[in-house]
Structure 1
Amino acid sequence: MNAPAPLSTVNEWPAGRGSREEFVAKYGTQRADRYQEAFWAMDPVADALFTSGHTVKEIMPNLREALARGTADDDTLPEVAALIEDMTKALAGLDAEKLERGRRTYLSIPPLSHGLALGPGSLVHTYATPAIADLLINTGELTDGAVKRLAYTTNWTYSLYLPDALQPGGEGFIHTGMVRAIHAHVRRVHNRKGLDYSDYGAPISEFDMLRTWFDFTYIPYAGLRRMGWQLTAEEERDVFYLWKIVGRMLGIHSDLFHGEDGVEASQETMDAIHAVDGEINEAARQLVDALMSGFVVNAKELTGFPEDTLADWTAAHVRIIHGDEVADACGVAQSVMQPILEMEAPLVQERFDLLRQDKEALEAEIQKNEDMVRQMLTRDATYMKQDEGVKMKDGSMAVGA
């Protein structure tokens, strides 16, 4: 295979994204032009961490220290300082009250229910496109270490929901900065392999990041609705607003999610994204299978229920959240629990609505869930370190500098 042109010079409509003409006919030229740009755009601010000549062992501790302070100092590497500055720009014009409402809305729903929406919900959707699945399968850890990887993704989200979490130096600020750096690290490693990206565009592109942003907004909250946790339109706007701040901190340009303020408001964009996803492939099925197994192991630790019961329960939620077509394509088993859970959803919704009408009970629920999140949050996660490099499928460690 001939080495492809440098990614910075490639801007064609990727072959695996389907017909540009058909996309334009349905979604318009403006959206097509912006997505074509996003297919190849990466994150120059974060990518500079691993193209400046400093080693990973130099970069990672320097970045952790700067994120914990929330600001650069005289010992901060210039590229680290630039990343801190860019993340802080996400807070410009911040509506603190709206952000706090979004945080409290999240905490009004039990972490286990959110965990279902995140694992069988968000991550199944993440893996369902070959643009992401093919890249992730190369690292090996996402299949061999699915239990830990699921826990780490959940751990990052926990960091976002503590008081003042997104302020410089806050837990969410720290964890999000490290997640952004790891994306850049993985992107650098894959770019150096000289692979052909003509099918879907750059690895962990801006488009991939936008799609993943919806995996923490549209996908879980549409799924939670089906589970009996439907929010009001205002509550959805508040939660989406919190994630817009997080998305900007991750390096996504805000024009891509402008106007995406709830499930209904985001439907056309989700349809447009799915139009260029590509077909669910074997890599996606491997990742979903590993995810399901990992979720069952984690749920057993929390509940003590038998694994076969939890496997059926998890499969039922995948089908409730995503529907049978996606579940079948991902190789998810049929579930005898599905009709039972679907019948229980109205009762869950009724209890949730009653809870929100009782200010004292709601406050107690939020505090209980915040305490649980605080107890489960850890800084001992792979994305917080990576000082040795990125572990690849063959077990080797690939460094980013």
Structure 2
Amino acid sequence: MERSVLQPRFKNAPHFKDFWQKGNGKLLIEFSGAEVSFKNFEQFATYYYHTDEIGDQVVKDIYLKKKFREASKEIEQYIRNGVSESDPVPESVKKLFSSIQRKPDWLNEDLLKSGAELCMRSGLDALISLRDYCLIGGYDYAYLNKPLIVTEALKKGAVKRLSETLDFWVNVTRYNALEIHAKGYEFAIKTRLIHSYARLSIKKHYKNWDSENWGEPINSWDMMATYIGFSLVFLHSLHKLGNSFSNEEELGIFHLWKYVGYLLGIPEDLLPDNKKQATEYFYLWTSIQPPSDKDSVLLAHSLLNESLENPILKFNFQRKNLRYLHICCTWFLLDHEVCKRLSIPDVSNKNVFPIAKRFTNFIYNSLVGRKARIKAGNKKHLKVLEDYLRITAASNFH
């Protein structure tokens, strides 16, 4: 059966108009200077049915022919030692590594460093932004979340999911993390193959996948939106929390995630260089996404309740307080309409903590030098990651 041509089907829907005319979408346009329109929609829409064929073939040739642990060890050796044309490995493996072992001509090491430094010096604000704006805000896009639902991510639990996200994010945003054979490079390649493995599993086992509406599982356009979350949305969140950044740091964030996206197999046409491009790309993608559904609400509440389930904090009152603070930040960072759709609890004095955070950021950034903030932020990130890995029993990527 021939697939119908994809249209910006929700461009006249209340949730789309409210976001871009009144909510965070409007703020993103002001923040970025974007000029949004639908003139390039068809160019991007084809990627809704596009996937990483190279990664998929590697999974077919390695993971689906061996035990998972054995296949993972084999891939680890390829990542850490490299692959040459003369190596006795499947052609798909040679094809994958011939592309990623050669740095693209556009790669700028100075911008990668600036992007990593902004991530590190943002300290706990970075983790607040990832959790209370990027992740939970992404749950409002109902179709984007379908792979999470059908692979039963809710059963795995929010603590484990958050640990995996943090493990990935920290390891790709440190100094020299993306050097070939380095740890962040390894995380990116493993994540790429995890996506392929999940996609092939969905296509094989989930017969009710609605590709007409949902696109291909973990398709390239959805991947673009996810990584715009790590760049544009992350940057906007830091801005909302009272952080300032230089033009080079700003460009560095986009450059860092452009390279991570490249390693993950996202087509280069979908990887924005700056906040203006990112906002214009994001605008087009949101026009095909309906608002929250019941699955979205379940995912959001699973993340909110992670603080209650997480044993890092010893006492119940500490966990309840942490949950309250995350709820406050979610209301502050997200549109109120989005919070209502996700059924985020409406708590008292919800602006007190975020506004106090803005004020303390202003003082801290004024009094403490940039290098000291980078060092302190990196230390905080590594401590939080260590705590999560301790309770989720070792690294998520082994």
Superimposed CA distance per residue, residues 150-180 of structure 1 (whole angstroms, 9 cap, x where no aligned partner): 1110110110123211011111100111111
Superposition TM-score, scaled by structure 2 size: 0.82
Superimposed CA distance per residue, residues 317-339 of structure 1 (whole angstroms, 9 cap, x where no aligned partner): 11111121111101111132422
Superimposed CA distance per residue, residues 62-85 of structure 1 (whole angstroms, 9 cap, x where no aligned partner): 111111224457354432332222
Partner of residue 316 from structure 1, selected from 328, 347, 354? 328
For 2:176 and 2:359, the matched residues in 1 are separated by: 34
Amino acid at match of 2:304: M
1:67-78 matches, cutoff 5 A: 67-72=79-84, 74=87, 76-78=89-91
Structure 2 match to 1:204: 218
Structure 2 match to 1:18: 9
Partner of residue 53 from structure 2, selected from 34, 44, 49? 44
- The answer (yes or no) to whether the contact 1:162–1:374 under 8 Å persists in 2 is no
Structure 2 match to 1:103: 116
Q: How many angstroms does 1:245 deviate by?
A: 0.6
Q: Label 1:21 to 1:70 Cα distance change in 2 as closer, same or farther (>3 A).
A: farther
Superimposed CA distance per residue, residues 265-317 of structure 1 (whole angstroms, 9 cap, x where no aligned partner): 53333322222211211111111111112245559539996222222111111
In structure 2, the gaps of 5 or more residues are 17-35
Amino acid at match of 2:291: E
For 2:360 and 2:178, the matched residues in 1 are separated by: 31
Structural RMSD (CA): 2.9
1:175 aligns with 2:179: no
Partner of residue 354 from structure 1, selected from 353, 363, 366? 366
Q: Label 1:372 to 1:74 Cα distance change in 2 as closer, same or farther (>3 A).
A: farther
Q: How many angstroms does 1:41 deviate by?
A: 0.1
Q: Label 1:92 to 1:302 Cα distance change in 2 as closer, same or farther (>3 A).
A: farther
1:290 aligns with 2:302: yes
Amino acid at match of 2:91: P
For 1:337 and 1:32, the matched residues in 2 are separated by: 42
Partner of residue 259 from structure 2, selected from 240, 245, 248? 245
For 1:285 and 1:299, the matched residues in 2 are separated by: 24
Q: Label 1:40 to 1:233 Cα distance change in 2 as closer, same or farther (>3 A).
A: same
- The answer (yes or no) to whether the contact 1:87–1:250 under 8 Å persists in 2 is no
- The answer (yes or no) to whether the contact 2:10–2:287 under 8 Å persists in 1 is no
For 1:349 and 1:265, the matched residues in 2 are separated by: 28
Superposition TM-score, scaled by structure 1 size: 0.82
- The answer (yes or no) to whether the contact 1:99–1:242 under 8 Å persists in 2 is yes
Tell me the percent identity: 19
- The answer (yes or no) to whether the contact 1:300–1:306 under 8 Å persists in 2 is no
1:344 aligns with 2:393: no
- The answer (yes or no) to whether the contact 1:177–1:249 under 8 Å persists in 2 is yes
For 2:154 and 2:144, the matched residues in 1 are separated by: 12
1:27 aligns with 2:37: yes
Amino acid at match of 2:373: E
Partner of residue 258 from structure 1, selected from 272, 276, 281? 272
**Bigger shift: residues 220-229 or 74-83:** 74-83
